[in-house]
Every structure is written in C-alpha cells, then in structure tokens.
Amino acid sequence: MSASGSSKPRYMEKYNRQKLIGTGAFGQAWLVQSKADGRQLVMKEIKISK
C-alpha cells in the first residue's frame, strides 16, 4: 500500500495498465506501458495469501 492510503502500490505509479494478458494459479500477467519512455512491458502480479 502506498503512503497516500490507496491500494495501488507505489511502483505502479510509473506504469499504465493496458490489458490483461493471462491468469494462472499464482496471479495475473498484465501488458503495461512505462509513463517515462513509453516502453511496453509485461508485469506479473502474484497473489500472496495471508
């Protein structure tokens, strides 16, 4: 959680989610675009159980 209290992690402020690529047992893969230079990357979001 970021310092502002939102549920969006701080590192995600650098990227725009474009589309969901896939899902699996451990999480999801997203196509994202860097706000700094426009590069497209794949980011994997992993579920962590408490």
Residue list for the binding site for ATP: 44
The annotated binding site is made up of 44
Alpha carbons within 13 angstroms on the beta-carbon side of residue 40 total 6
Amino acid present at 14 = K
In the three-class reduction of DSSP (H, G, I as helix; E, B as strand; rest coil), residue 6 is classed as coil
Supply the DSSP symbol for 7.
Answer: S
